[in-house]
C-alpha cells in the first residue's frame, strides 16, 4: 500500500492531536497521504482537496476517523470504487467503526503487512420515479425510511416485491434496511438484528396501525417498490438519516441491492457478537 486517504471528523483538541499523530506516522512510513481540506486545516497541513477529491484518488486504503455517521456519509461517496475502508471510532466503540484510537497503530501495521480481513457489506440502490420517469438515484448503506411529518395523519404505503403486491402498511411509516442497518432505526422500531454480511433486506413498519404488520426479511436479490396509496402532504423519504426528500402521491420509490459492495477492514480478533454485547449491554444485570 502506497496511497492512503484520511477523512476525519475532529473538533475536540485531543482528537485533533490524534489525527495529527496519525498523519505524521503515515508520512514516516513513506506513504502518500491525501487529506481533505477541513481535516488538513485542523491539523495544520495545507490541502485543497474536498472529501470527494480524496475519494476520487487512486487509493489503496481510506481511513475514516469519527463515528458511524461519518462512515455512512463516506460509504455513499465511495460507492463503486472498491477501496478498502478502515473505520476508526474517535469516541466509544461503534457498529461500523469498530477500531478504537488505541488500536489504530497495531491495526495499520497489520494492514500494511497484508495481514487483514475484509467484510463486504451490501448497499441499497434507491431510484425515485415521478410520473414514470427516473428523477434521481441514491446509494444507501443503512436504511431508507418513509416517514410522515410531526403533525401528519396515519399514512398508507403500498409495497410490492418484484412486481408482486405484498401489503399496504398503515402507520407512521416504513423502514427498508440492510443487514448493516439492522442495528439502527430498524432495531429501534422492533426489527430483527441480522449478521452484517448476510445477503438480505428488512422491511420494518414504524408503529403499524395493525399488530399483524410485522417486520419481514427477504432475499437480497429482490426489488422493492413503495408507493403512497392516498394523497398525503408532509411525507418524506430519508436515506441513512442524512439525506432526505419529499415524497408525493404519484412517486414510486424502487429499492434494490446495489451492484457493488462496500469493503470494510475487519479485525480478526474482534467479532460481531462482541460488538453487540458491548453496544447493547447484553448479559448485564
DSSP state of 281: T
Pairwise CA distance, residues 28 & 7, whole Å: 19
Q: Are the beta carbons of 269 and 117 closer than 8 angstroms?
A: no
- The yes-or-no answer on residue 250 being catalytic is no
Q: How far out from the chain centre does Cα 17 lie? A: 27
Q: Are the beta carbons of 35 and 93 closer than 8 angstroms?
A: no
Q: Which of 68, 143, 240, 251 is catalytic?
A: 68
Q: Count the neighbouring beta carbons within 10 Å of the beta carbon of residue 80.
A: 12
Q: How many residues appear in the chain?
A: 285
For residue 258, list its beta bridge partners: none
Backbone dihedral angles phi then psi of residue 13, each to the nearest 5 degrees: -60, -45
Reading the block at residue 190, the C-alpha cell is 422492533
Active site residues: 68
Amino acid at each position: 500500500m502506497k496511497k492512503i486517504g484520511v477523512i476525519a471528523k475532529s473538533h475536540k483538541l485531543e482528537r485533533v492531536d490524534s489525527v495529527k499523530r496519525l498523519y505524521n506516522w503515515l508520512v514516516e512510513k513513506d506513504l502518500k497521504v491525501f487529506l481533505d481540506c477541513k481535516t488538513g486545516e485542523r491539523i495544520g497541513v495545507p490541502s485543497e482537496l474536498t472529501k470527494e477529491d480524496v475519494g476520487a484518488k487512486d487509493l489503496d486504503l481510506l481511513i475514516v476517523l469519527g463515528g458511524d455517521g461519518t462512515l455512512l456519509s463516506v460509504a455513499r461517496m465511495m460507492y463503486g470504487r472498491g477501496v478498502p475502508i478502515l473505520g476508526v471510532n474517535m469516541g466509544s466503540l461503534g457498529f461500523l467503526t469498530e477500531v478504537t484510537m488505541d488500536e489504530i497503530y497495531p491495526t495499520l501495521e497489520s494492514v500494511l503487512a497484508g495481514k487483514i480481513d475484509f467484510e463486504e457489506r451490501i448497499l441499497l440502490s434507491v431510484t425515485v420515479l415521478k410520473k414514470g420517469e427516473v428523477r434521481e438515484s441514491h446509494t444507501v448503506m443503512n436504511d431508507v425510511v418513509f416517514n410522515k411529518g410531526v403533525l401528519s395523519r396515519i399514512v398508507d404505503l403500498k409495497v410490492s416485491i418484484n412486481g408482486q403486491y405484498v401489503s399496504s402498511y398503515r402507520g407512521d411509516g416504513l423502514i427498508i434496511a440492510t443487514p448493516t442497518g439492522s442495528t439502527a432505526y430498524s432495531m429501534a422500531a422492533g426489527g430483527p438484528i441480522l449478521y452484517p454480511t448476510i445477503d438480505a433486506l428488512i422491511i420494518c413498519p414504524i408503529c403499524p396501525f395493525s399488530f399483524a404488520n410485522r417486520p419481514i426479511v427477504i432475499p437480497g436479490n429482490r426489488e422493492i417498490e413503495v408507493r403512497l396509496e392516498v394523497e398525503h402532504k408532509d411525507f418524506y423519504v430519508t436515506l441513512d438519516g442524512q439525506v432526505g426528500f419529499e415524497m408525493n402521491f404519484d412517486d414510486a420509490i424502487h429499492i434494490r441491492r446495489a451492484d457493488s459492495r462496500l469493503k470494510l477492514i475487519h479485525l480478526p480478533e474482534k467479532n460481531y457478537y462482541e460488538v453487540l454485547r458491548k453496544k447493547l449491554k447484553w448479559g448485564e444485570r
